[in-house]
Structure 1
Amino acid sequence: MSSTIGIIGSGHIGRGLATHLAKTTYPVLITNRRGPASLTDLVASIGGSLSAADLTQTIEQADVLFIAAPWTQLPELAGQLQGYSGKILVDATNNIVSVSPFQLADTAGKPTGEHVASLFPTHRVVKAFNTLPAATLAQPSSGRLGNTVIVISGDDGDAKKEVADITKAMGFAPVDLGTFQQGGHLQDMGGALSGAEFIKVSR
């Protein structure tokens, strides 16, 4: 049986993720703080395997949760996930706490994926889908050369493999950067891979 996927957050990144996940064979739930009724138009416009749910339903039913909520909401979300364990969390966040003026949260030198993993110690965190601009994530470059790359890092190899399989099903090319310490900083804001779209050439 295929995993059920949840998306927490319906902003630009959450919508972009939903667009591609809804085309897969995975059941996909999307939730936000305003409740399922606020997602009716979004779900209708995307279609496919996407449906709306409240946060509790999404957490309970999903095996894999894509976190596309603002950085400032992560501590609260960690509290809501305390009663659960073993879920794969795909951390698609960046540590932006203010846009104007632009400000990043201090992670004490840790890659953001490692910092997020420390907030969710009973779950399996994989950093992915945070480097592409939201517009590019929603509509990646198309061509005959290959697929847009999604870089992945994390300390749980089996969780990374499952996320890589989901990434492929979405039409992207996953590239594993290694552990959080090995590759995490490359994904973070200001890192070498942040904001860039790469194409993995098909052979």
Structure 2
Amino acid sequence: MKISIIGSGNMGQGLARLLSAKHEVTLVSRQASADGAKLPGVASATYADGVSEAEVVFFALPYEGVSAAAEKLGDLAGKLVVDITNPLTADYMGLTLGYSTSAGEQIAALFPQAKVVKAFNTIFAPVLALAAQGAKSLPTVLIAGDDADAKETVRQLATDMGFSAVIAGPLSTARYLEPLGGLQIRLAYAEGHGAEVGFTFGPVA
């Protein structure tokens, strides 16, 4: 599968490293040549030409940067868009959206002809690094979206990376997933538990 990842920070690079084991991955940023050199086997491209061939597009950049990126990327018609963002306040301890909407729904409004799925917003970059090292006890990827096939594709991508995954409902479920991401950030950083953590969903034995 051809996958473009918008954003070359720790999350973007972590996703690219894991996905490139089974898929054709392009890391899309404003500094394509520099970013591509960091990850052997991962292509690099600029916003102008980085998504034209992609079947799946990950947004791995801060939520507040998505609107600017959207102006450069076009409508992404027919593509599966994976939103991993959390709409955080400047101190990372609160959310700027909630109750009646979510970052996932706002991104879907920016790309009405794409299939937007919320996922990976509760997975930290250090956890992606541990997954790349072969860690077996990984958190659950929670998935929300309005297109059943798109959600199943994202579930398979999560599985390809070594994660368990649970489909959590329609895209409006992002209104719950994003506060969960905010709670995880508070536990990790404000309460001192560190970033090598995550939530796991499953039956109690």
Conserved? CA contact 1:15–1:138, under 8 Å: no
Number of residue equivalences: 190
Structure 2 counterpart of 1:27, one-letter code: E
**Inter-CA distance 99–38: structure 2 relative to 1 (3 Å threshold):** farther
What does residue range 30-49 of structure 1 map to in structure 2 within 5 Å? 30-33=27-30, 35-43=31-39, 47-48=40-41
Superposed displacement of residue 89, structure 1: 0.4
Partner of residue 148, structure 2: 157
What does residue range 11-160 of structure 1 map to in structure 2 within 5 Å? 11-24=9-22, 26-33=23-30, 35-43=31-39, 47-48=40-41, 50-99=42-91, 102=93, 104-106=95-97, 109-140=100-131, 142-143=135-136, 147-160=138-151
SS in structure 2 opposite 1:55?
Answer: coil
Partner of residue 180, structure 1: 171
Encode CA deviations 1:27-71: one digit per residue, 9 max, x unaligned.
1000112x222214312xxx34x1112222221121100100121
Structure 2 counterpart of 1:39, one-letter code: D
Structure 2 counterpart of 1:86, one-letter code: G
SS in structure 2 opposite 1:104?
Answer: coil
Q: TM (normalized to structure 1)?
A: 0.81
Conserved? CA contact 2:75–2:114, under 8 Å: no
SS in structure 1 opposite 2:117?
Answer: strand
Superposed displacement of residue 137, structure 1: 2.7
Partner of residue 5, structure 2: 7
Q: Distance in 2 between matches of 1:64 and 1:157?
A: 15
Structure 1 counterpart of 2:38, one-letter code: L
Q: Distance in 2 between matches of 1:172 and 1:161?
A: 14
**Inter-CA distance 199–110: structure 2 relative to 1 (3 Å threshold):** closer
Q: Distance in 2 between matches of 1:125 and 1:171?
A: 22
SS in structure 1 opposite 2:166?
Answer: strand
Q: What's the % identity of the aligned pairs?
A: 32
SS in structure 2 opposite 1:161?
Answer: helix
Structure 1's consecutive aligned runs of 4 or more residues displaced over 4 angstroms after TM superposition are: 190-195
Partner of residue 199, structure 2: 197
Encode CA deviations 1:102-159: one digit per residue, 9 max, x unaligned.
553235721321122112111110001111222123214833xx65311100111111
Q: TM (normalized to structure 2)?
A: 0.81
More strand by share: 1
Structure 1: where are the runs of 5+ without partners?
Answer: none
Q: Distance in 2 between matches of 1:192 and 1:93?
A: 11
Encode CA deviations 1:66-99: one digit per residue, 9 max, x unaligned.
1001212111222223354111100011112523
Cα RMSD (Å) of the superposition? Answer: 2.6
Q: Distance in 2 between matches of 1:191 and 1:129?
A: 9
